[in-house]
Structure 1
Amino acid sequence: MAGSIIRRRFIDIGANLTDPMYQGLYNGKQCHAADLKTVLSRAVQFGLEKIIITGGSLEDSEKALKVAKSDPMLYSTVGCHPTRCLELEDDAQQYIDSMVKLTKDNADKVVAVGEFGLDYDRLHFCPKEAQIKNFALQFEVAEKTKLPLFLHCRNAATDLLEILNRHRDSYTSGVVHSFDGTYKEAKSFLDLGLYIGLNGCSLKTDANLEVVQKLPIDRLLIETDCPWCEIKASHASSEHVQTKFESVKKEKWSEAKQVKGRNEPANIVQVFEVISKLKADIDADTLAQTIYENTQKVFFPNS
């Protein structure tokens, strides 16, 4: 367990809590008991007030919503991830209509359209042309629901920006999550009224940290993207992490400890600590409150 408990308020804008790891399953093998409730309890201890569970397909969005309904602090998104976008090929309109219905029928829990966008690092899952076409189609969901966008971008900023500009009348706000691009790319997203989401994958290299230093704090959101994107010892950001969690291998699971290699929402505090160090001229409490208010403004404007 870590040292002093953080009392600042956090919202994790992106957590993959439908992942089987939180049911104790790793590559189809049961390694320990389901422990999502324990994971959420640990998150609350470290200041988490809300967590948004990302949906990566229609089926996954339904699963995310089911989990979100299990706890008042949980919310979800509805969308089709670029690596899953071939699912729209058979009957795109029916798929879109189903996403719209799922969103409107659960307006108290669904807070964003996505995760959707472009991923040119994993074209083996879905070709570039199909990604572009099926990303563009999903703006109908945004237009009909008036919800913010939860965007995925991997090595595809130029095309993503072109499509976002083309559909500018379909949305008012959103976030480019897990951002790891250049400052020029970030500035282009900011100019569209979007926010930048940061997690461990956004903080790997010295170049990443230099970009984060330049970003305006009134446009920052934070996330874990768990169970992925943890801050690893090999990352340039690791030296700025103050809060350490004891972890064990999955085969030696203990309720009081994290699972080694499985990120979880409580680690949002580590992401914040890195950003706070990079923004050393800003009071940490002020920074935390600003990021919290940013998140409320984007995803929870009526609360």
Structure 2
Amino acid sequence: MKISAKEAAMLLCAHDRILILSHKNPDGDTLGSAYGLLRALRSLGKTVRTQCTDRLPQMFSYLADGVQQEDFTPEFVVAVDVASVSLLGDAVTEAYPNVDLCIDHHHTNELYAQKTYLYDGASACEAVYEVICEMGVSITPDLADCLYTGMATDTGCFRFSNTTPKTMRLAADLMEQGARYAELNRLLFETKSKERIAVERMVLDTISYAADGKIALICISQEMVKESGADESELGGISGIPRTIEGVEIGITMREKEAGGYKISVRTAAYADASKLCAAFGGGGHIRAAGCVINAPYEQAKTMLLEEAARFL
């Protein structure tokens, strides 16, 4: 059942022991949403903690500064930036099979929660911001950092086509309320480890083109990750590399899974729908950015992807 931001705020205010869930392989939006909502609810005297199948990536560690995670049995479970139950991870879904409220911005949301506030905008942090405002919470600098993180990362530092005038206005509000935007922008978009650079170097050697250069595909193998010594959290953003190449309309990244097969990320230009392309393989996401999984050998998976992608040109 879909509800409004005000109704979501009323639900949160009506409960005291609240668990906030992020999706596996967490990014800046799901983490910024979770820690932002946690800080807002704690300011109202609520008992709150966050949980994620995977650990907090080092680059987002500042989101948890000063946050002590108290163990308790929740009476209300919230998922943020999670379009499908499968994205929570098996351990989390087994422990918490029922989600009371979902705050999300993906049009492919499966409406698995009892109540869903589905926001039409660039990031889940924008949705969380609206809910927090409905709760009457004052925005502190730490809270502003959390929400700015999600807005900035999901829009590529406000460069992607999903950036709206409202996104810019909300980000400006957060800047005025103390968000360390210059410091965060440098950390999130201009800083890479030596291990990450090593992975990029190897990935660039895998580039292949199709459709007269309108489609570009890269692959990240398990061997590359092992050889570089890169942490999982350092691989974010690599999927955007193919679309930075001149003339490329559809960029595809194949990431080899430990158990075999490939996790696919698709990034597209103005007219190609990434979510529809990935839907052909059981996936989904946004119009410009989506993903899926293909359990097939490399060459077979690559051929399937390139043939399907060509249909969108």
TM-score (norm 1): 0.28
* Larger Rg, first or second structure (1 or 2): 2
TM-score (norm 2): 0.27
Higher relative contact order (CA 8 A, sep 6+): 1
